[in-house]
Structure 1
């Protein structure tokens, strides 16, 4: 499939797909006219890449673990080096810290909204 179709099917911009290709996250064959031609499996690969990016992993780490992904959400990494495990542990800890911060901020917003809504409800009934 051409880059436009891949873009439409994955909801990923053409520019971002070229970025993924430039960083070795996806691979395209080239037609005689120079156009990119992606295999059907690239749709799932883009979903995996986007999910890992959304989780906060940098592309340099994603590139290292992508060969070990056989299905979405399954990582099989039999030859993990101690360095790779340390990097993944650091990323996990960084994500955990982000989750705590986001949860704290969400809870503060919920509390604020509750107070505002209660205040408005009381004012409306007076």
Structure 2
């Protein structure tokens, strides 16, 4: 599929998809015409990249994770054990952010008279 189709299927803009390629997150096949050609696996890769970006991970960390993914399963323990500690820290950071947002929502709820 071409970049426009991948964009429609994933919600990522063509510009974002080209950026993902620059960062080593995608490796499309290049046709003789110069067009990029993507496969079905790229759809799942882009979706996964978007989730990881929304979780606050940088593209350099995501680039380390992508090779550890097989058949929609992240296999870090066997294939990429060196990432476990750093990802554990990232998980802790995300959990703390969720806790902070929950506390802020609870304060707003009390201010507008909603029960906690």
| Normalised-by-shorter TM-score class | 0.7 to 0.9
Corresponding residue for residue 27 of structure 2: 27
Q: Which protein shows a greater Rg?
A: 1
Corresponding residue for residue 124 of structure 1: none
Could you tell which deviates more after superposition, 103-112 or 24-33? 103-112
Which ranges of structure 1 fall in alignment gaps of 5 or more residues? 116-126
Q: Distance in 2 between matches of 1:94 and 1:71?
A: 27
Give the direction of change, closer, same or farther, for the CA distance of 1:33–1:67 in structure 2 (3 Å limit).
same
Could you say what secondary structure the match of 1:111 adopts? helix
Q: CA-to-partner distance for each residue in 1:57-79, whole Å, 9 max, x for gaps?
A: 2211111111122244x321214
Q: Distance in 2 between matches of 1:10 and 1:40?
A: 11
Q: CA deviation at 1:110?
A: 2.1
Corresponding residue for residue 85 of structure 2: 86
Which ranges of structure 2 fall in alignment gaps of 5 or more residues? none
- Provide runs of 4+ in structure 1 moved above 3 Å: none
Query: Is 1:44 paired with 2:44?
Result: yes
Q: How large is the Cα RMSD of the aligned pairs?
A: 1.5
TM (norm. structure 2) is 0.86
